[in-house]
Amino acid sequence: MESHAEQARANFTQAVRRRDADIDIFGACLFIAGEEYPDLDNRGYFDRLDTLAAMASERLPEKANLYDRLDAIRSVLFESTDLRGNSGNYYDPRNSYVNVVLDRGLGIPITLSVIYREVARRVGVEMHGIGMPGHFLLATGSGSEEIFVDPYHRGGLLSRKECLALAMRGRRPSDSASVALTSRLLPACGNRSTLRRLLTNLKLTHAKKRDYKRALAAAERIQLLDPQNWRNLSDLARLQAEVGDFIRAVESLSEFLDRAPDGADTRRAKDALSQLQELARKQSSAGPNN
Protein backbone atom coordinates (compact mmCIF):
# COMPACT_ATOMS: atom_id res chain seq x y z
CA MET A 1 0.00 0.00 0.00
CA GLU A 2 1.36 3.42 -0.97
CA SER A 3 2.21 5.90 1.75
CA HIS A 4 0.75 9.40 1.59
CA ALA A 5 4.13 10.71 0.41
CA GLU A 6 4.31 8.14 -2.39
CA GLN A 7 0.79 8.98 -3.51
CA ALA A 8 1.54 12.70 -3.46
CA ARG A 9 4.68 12.08 -5.53
CA ALA A 10 2.73 10.01 -8.03
CA ASN A 11 0.07 12.72 -8.27
CA PHE A 12 2.73 15.38 -8.81
CA THR A 13 4.39 13.31 -11.53
CA GLN A 14 1.08 12.93 -13.35
CA ALA A 15 0.24 16.63 -12.90
CA VAL A 16 3.43 17.85 -14.61
CA ARG A 17 3.34 15.40 -17.53
CA ARG A 18 1.36 17.92 -19.56
CA ARG A 19 1.99 20.88 -21.79
CA ASP A 20 3.18 23.82 -19.74
CA ALA A 21 -0.03 25.79 -20.26
CA ASP A 22 -2.14 22.81 -19.17
CA ILE A 23 -0.42 22.28 -15.81
CA ASP A 24 -2.70 23.06 -12.87
CA ILE A 25 -0.10 25.00 -10.92
CA PHE A 26 -2.07 25.28 -7.68
CA GLY A 27 -2.90 21.57 -7.77
CA ALA A 28 0.78 20.75 -8.39
CA CYS A 29 1.74 22.96 -5.42
CA LEU A 30 -0.70 21.03 -3.24
CA PHE A 31 0.87 17.75 -4.38
CA ILE A 32 4.27 19.17 -3.36
CA ALA A 33 2.82 19.97 0.06
CA GLY A 34 1.13 16.57 0.22
CA GLU A 35 4.45 14.83 0.85
CA GLU A 36 4.84 16.88 4.01
CA TYR A 37 1.21 17.04 5.17
CA PRO A 38 -0.52 13.62 5.08
CA ASP A 39 -4.02 14.89 5.89
CA LEU A 40 -4.05 17.64 3.29
CA ASP A 41 -7.56 18.40 2.02
CA ASN A 42 -6.86 19.46 -1.57
CA ARG A 43 -10.50 20.14 -2.38
CA GLY A 44 -10.82 22.35 0.67
CA TYR A 45 -8.00 24.62 -0.51
CA PHE A 46 -9.49 24.93 -3.99
CA ASP A 47 -12.72 25.94 -2.24
CA ARG A 48 -10.76 28.58 -0.32
CA LEU A 49 -9.60 30.11 -3.61
CA ASP A 50 -13.17 30.09 -4.92
CA THR A 51 -14.33 31.88 -1.77
CA LEU A 52 -11.60 34.52 -2.03
CA ALA A 53 -12.46 35.10 -5.69
CA ALA A 54 -16.16 35.42 -4.85
CA MET A 55 -15.32 38.01 -2.19
CA ALA A 56 -13.29 39.99 -4.71
CA SER A 57 -16.06 39.77 -7.34
CA GLU A 58 -18.58 41.16 -4.86
CA ARG A 59 -16.46 44.31 -4.53
CA LEU A 60 -16.38 45.07 -8.26
CA PRO A 61 -18.35 47.96 -9.72
CA GLU A 62 -20.84 47.18 -12.48
CA LYS A 63 -18.43 48.11 -15.28
CA ALA A 64 -15.16 46.99 -13.73
CA ASN A 65 -11.91 47.63 -15.54
CA LEU A 66 -8.58 45.89 -14.97
CA TYR A 67 -7.52 48.25 -12.20
CA ASP A 68 -10.83 47.72 -10.39
CA ARG A 69 -10.25 43.96 -10.48
CA LEU A 70 -6.68 44.20 -9.25
CA ASP A 71 -7.75 46.52 -6.44
CA ALA A 72 -10.53 44.15 -5.38
CA ILE A 73 -8.09 41.21 -5.31
CA ARG A 74 -5.59 43.28 -3.32
CA SER A 75 -8.25 44.31 -0.84
CA VAL A 76 -9.42 40.74 -0.23
CA LEU A 77 -6.01 39.07 -0.06
CA PHE A 78 -4.00 41.67 1.82
CA GLU A 79 -6.60 43.47 3.90
CA SER A 80 -9.52 41.12 4.61
CA THR A 81 -7.46 37.91 4.60
CA ASP A 82 -4.22 39.67 5.68
CA LEU A 83 -1.82 37.61 3.60
CA ARG A 84 1.69 39.03 3.89
CA GLY A 85 5.31 38.33 3.20
CA ASN A 86 7.14 36.53 5.98
CA SER A 87 10.03 38.97 6.26
CA GLY A 88 10.68 37.89 9.86
CA ASN A 89 11.47 34.28 8.93
CA TYR A 90 11.86 34.27 5.17
CA TYR A 91 13.61 30.88 5.02
CA ASP A 92 11.01 28.99 7.01
CA PRO A 93 10.16 26.00 4.75
CA ARG A 94 6.47 26.44 5.54
CA ASN A 95 6.53 29.58 3.40
CA SER A 96 6.87 27.32 0.34
CA TYR A 97 3.70 25.28 0.95
CA VAL A 98 0.59 27.01 -0.38
CA ASN A 99 -1.74 25.31 2.10
CA VAL A 100 0.27 26.61 5.06
CA VAL A 101 0.54 30.06 3.49
CA LEU A 102 -3.25 30.24 3.32
CA ASP A 103 -3.60 28.91 6.88
CA ARG A 104 -0.93 31.12 8.49
CA GLY A 105 -1.21 34.13 6.20
CA LEU A 106 2.58 34.16 5.71
CA GLY A 107 4.48 33.38 2.53
CA ILE A 108 7.29 34.22 0.17
CA PRO A 109 6.97 35.94 -3.22
CA ILE A 110 6.42 32.79 -5.25
CA THR A 111 3.71 31.18 -3.09
CA LEU A 112 1.89 34.46 -2.61
CA SER A 113 2.08 34.93 -6.38
CA VAL A 114 0.60 31.49 -7.06
CA ILE A 115 -2.33 32.26 -4.76
CA TYR A 116 -2.84 35.76 -6.19
CA ARG A 117 -2.70 34.46 -9.75
CA GLU A 118 -5.29 31.75 -9.09
CA VAL A 119 -7.69 34.20 -7.45
CA ALA A 120 -7.12 36.69 -10.29
CA ARG A 121 -7.95 34.06 -12.91
CA ARG A 122 -11.25 33.41 -11.17
CA VAL A 123 -11.98 37.14 -11.26
CA GLY A 124 -11.25 37.36 -14.98
CA VAL A 125 -7.61 38.51 -14.97
CA GLU A 126 -5.02 36.28 -16.65
CA MET A 127 -1.54 36.72 -15.21
CA HIS A 128 1.90 35.19 -15.67
CA GLY A 129 4.92 34.93 -13.42
CA ILE A 130 7.99 37.14 -13.68
CA GLY A 131 11.11 35.42 -12.38
CA MET A 132 13.35 38.38 -11.72
CA PRO A 133 16.63 37.76 -9.87
CA GLY A 134 15.98 37.36 -6.16
CA HIS A 135 12.27 38.15 -6.38
CA PHE A 136 9.08 36.91 -8.02
CA LEU A 137 6.32 39.08 -9.45
CA LEU A 138 3.20 38.77 -11.56
CA ALA A 139 2.28 40.62 -14.73
CA THR A 140 -0.80 41.04 -16.86
CA GLY A 141 -1.07 42.52 -20.33
CA SER A 142 1.81 43.04 -22.72
CA GLY A 143 4.01 45.72 -24.21
CA SER A 144 3.38 49.23 -23.01
CA GLU A 145 0.11 48.04 -21.40
CA GLU A 146 1.84 45.49 -19.16
CA ILE A 147 1.12 45.90 -15.44
CA PHE A 148 3.33 44.33 -12.75
CA VAL A 149 2.04 43.23 -9.36
CA ASP A 150 4.13 42.46 -6.26
CA PRO A 151 2.16 40.06 -4.02
CA TYR A 152 4.98 39.95 -1.47
CA HIS A 153 4.50 43.66 -0.86
CA ARG A 154 0.73 43.54 -0.42
CA GLY A 155 -0.14 43.52 -4.11
CA GLY A 156 1.48 46.83 -4.99
CA LEU A 157 1.53 47.85 -8.65
CA LEU A 158 4.84 48.56 -10.36
CA SER A 159 5.91 50.00 -13.68
CA ARG A 160 8.48 48.21 -15.82
CA LYS A 161 11.09 50.80 -14.86
CA GLU A 162 10.36 50.28 -11.16
CA CYS A 163 10.74 46.51 -11.59
CA LEU A 164 14.05 46.96 -13.38
CA ALA A 165 15.26 49.32 -10.66
CA LEU A 166 14.28 46.70 -8.07
CA ALA A 167 16.21 44.04 -9.98
CA MET A 168 19.19 46.42 -10.30
CA ARG A 169 19.08 47.24 -6.58
CA GLY A 170 17.95 50.81 -6.93
CA ARG A 171 19.78 51.83 -10.10
CA ARG A 172 17.31 53.17 -12.62
CA PRO A 173 17.97 52.12 -16.22
CA SER A 174 17.88 54.58 -19.08
CA ASP A 175 15.05 54.39 -21.61
CA SER A 176 17.38 52.87 -24.19
CA ALA A 177 18.62 50.19 -21.76
CA SER A 178 15.16 49.24 -20.46
CA VAL A 179 14.15 47.22 -23.51
CA ALA A 180 17.40 45.25 -23.59
CA LEU A 181 17.29 44.53 -19.85
CA THR A 182 13.64 43.48 -19.67
CA SER A 183 14.01 39.97 -21.11
CA ARG A 184 17.07 39.28 -18.92
CA LEU A 185 15.94 40.79 -15.62
CA LEU A 186 12.17 40.34 -15.98
CA PRO A 187 11.80 36.96 -17.70
CA ALA A 188 8.29 35.56 -18.07
CA CYS A 189 7.85 32.30 -16.15
CA GLY A 190 5.56 29.53 -17.31
CA ASN A 191 4.00 27.00 -14.98
CA ARG A 192 6.90 24.58 -15.19
CA SER A 193 9.58 27.17 -14.47
CA THR A 194 7.48 28.58 -11.60
CA LEU A 195 7.24 25.15 -10.00
CA ARG A 196 10.96 24.58 -10.58
CA ARG A 197 11.73 27.83 -8.79
CA LEU A 198 9.47 26.92 -5.87
CA LEU A 199 11.12 23.50 -5.55
CA THR A 200 14.57 25.07 -5.79
CA ASN A 201 13.63 27.32 -2.87
CA LEU A 202 12.63 24.24 -0.90
CA LYS A 203 15.80 22.38 -1.86
CA LEU A 204 18.05 25.23 -0.76
CA THR A 205 16.07 25.99 2.40
CA HIS A 206 16.14 22.38 3.61
CA ALA A 207 19.79 21.93 2.66
CA LYS A 208 20.68 25.08 4.59
CA LYS A 209 19.05 23.53 7.66
CA ARG A 210 20.90 20.25 6.92
CA ASP A 211 17.58 18.49 6.42
CA TYR A 212 19.02 16.51 3.54
CA LYS A 213 16.16 14.04 3.25
CA ARG A 214 13.66 16.80 2.49
CA ALA A 215 16.16 18.65 0.30
CA LEU A 216 16.60 15.44 -1.69
CA ALA A 217 12.84 15.09 -2.11
CA ALA A 218 12.74 18.58 -3.62
CA ALA A 219 15.66 17.80 -5.96
CA GLU A 220 13.96 14.59 -7.10
CA ARG A 221 10.80 16.49 -7.99
CA ILE A 222 12.81 19.08 -9.92
CA GLN A 223 14.17 16.23 -12.04
CA LEU A 224 10.68 14.83 -12.58
CA LEU A 225 9.45 18.27 -13.56
CA ASP A 226 12.44 19.10 -15.75
CA PRO A 227 14.25 15.93 -16.91
CA GLN A 228 16.62 17.98 -19.09
CA ASN A 229 17.92 19.92 -16.08
CA TRP A 230 21.51 18.65 -16.06
CA ARG A 231 22.60 21.13 -13.38
CA ASN A 232 20.17 19.69 -10.84
CA LEU A 233 21.79 16.27 -11.27
CA SER A 234 24.86 17.53 -9.42
CA ASP A 235 22.72 18.61 -6.45
CA LEU A 236 20.82 15.35 -6.65
CA ALA A 237 24.07 13.38 -6.36
CA ARG A 238 25.31 15.48 -3.46
CA LEU A 239 22.07 15.06 -1.52
CA GLN A 240 21.90 11.32 -2.24
CA ALA A 241 25.42 11.07 -0.82
CA GLU A 242 24.38 13.09 2.25
CA VAL A 243 21.64 10.56 3.05
CA GLY A 244 24.01 7.65 2.43
CA ASP A 245 22.69 6.44 -0.92
CA PHE A 246 26.05 6.27 -2.66
CA ILE A 247 24.94 3.93 -5.43
CA ARG A 248 22.30 6.35 -6.70
CA ALA A 249 24.68 9.26 -6.15
CA VAL A 250 27.14 7.64 -8.56
CA GLU A 251 24.37 7.23 -11.14
CA SER A 252 23.27 10.87 -10.81
CA LEU A 253 26.77 12.32 -10.92
CA SER A 254 27.75 10.11 -13.87
CA GLU A 255 24.69 11.37 -15.74
CA PHE A 256 25.64 14.94 -14.83
CA LEU A 257 29.09 14.47 -16.33
CA ASP A 258 27.67 12.83 -19.45
CA ARG A 259 25.23 15.67 -20.04
CA ALA A 260 27.31 18.69 -18.98
CA PRO A 261 28.04 20.81 -22.08
CA ASP A 262 31.52 21.48 -23.37
CA GLY A 263 33.15 24.23 -21.36
CA ALA A 264 31.36 23.44 -18.08
CA ASP A 265 33.67 23.19 -15.07
CA THR A 266 33.41 19.51 -14.11
CA ARG A 267 36.74 18.99 -12.34
CA ARG A 268 35.25 18.83 -8.85
CA ALA A 269 32.50 16.53 -10.06
CA LYS A 270 35.05 14.11 -11.53
CA ASP A 271 36.99 14.06 -8.27
CA ALA A 272 33.79 13.52 -6.30
CA LEU A 273 32.73 10.70 -8.62
CA SER A 274 35.88 8.71 -7.84
CA GLN A 275 35.20 9.00 -4.12
CA LEU A 276 31.54 8.12 -4.53
CA GLN A 277 32.37 5.07 -6.63
CA GLU A 278 34.57 3.74 -3.83
CA LEU A 279 31.84 4.36 -1.26
CA ALA A 280 29.26 2.73 -3.55
CA ARG A 281 31.47 -0.38 -3.91
CA LYS A 282 31.71 -0.68 -0.14
CA GLN A 283 27.97 -0.12 0.23
CA SER A 284 27.20 -2.75 -2.42
CA SER A 285 29.52 -5.36 -0.91
CA ALA A 286 28.15 -4.74 2.59
CA GLY A 287 24.65 -5.71 1.46
CA PRO A 288 21.25 -4.39 2.58
CA ASN A 289 21.47 -5.71 6.15
CA ASN A 290 24.76 -4.03 7.10
* Residue range 88-104, pLDDT digits in tens: 999 999 999 999 999 99
Q: What angle do CA 27, 71, 166 make, to 5 degrees?
A: 80
pLDDT of residue 286: 77
pLDDT digits (tens, 9 = 90+) for 102-143: 999 999 999 999 999 999 999 999 999 999 988 999 999 877
Contact 91, 205 (CB under 8 A): yes
Contact 139, 188 (CB under 8 A): yes
User: What CA–CA distances, in Å, run from 157 to 34, 130, 181, 182, 269?
Assistant: 33, 13, 20, 17, 44
Q: Which of 161, 168, 159 is CA-nearest to residue 141? A: 159
Which range of 111-115, 166-170, 185-189, 283-287 scores highest in mean pLDDT? It is 111-115
The neighbour count for residue 174, using CB atoms within 10 Å, is 8
What is the mean predicted confidence (pLDDT) over 176-202? 84
What pairing do the DSSP bridges indicate for beta strands 106-107 and 84-85?
parallel
Using pLDDT thresholds of 50, 70 and 90, give the confidence band for residue 194.
Answer: very high
Distance CA 215, CA 201 (A): 10
Look up the pTM and report it: 0.92
Cross-strand pairs, 116: none
Q: Which fold has domain 4-189?
A: C8orf32 fold (3.10.620)
Q: Which of 196, 205, 202 is CA-nearest to residue 231? A: 196
Helix (H) or strand (E) holding 157: strand 156-158
Domain segments of the chain: what residues? Answer: 4-189, 228-286
Distance CA 256, CA 242 (A): 17
Q: Which of 7-11, 25-29, 132-136, 143-147 has the lowest mean pLDDT?
A: 143-147
Distance CA 95, CA 188 (A): 22
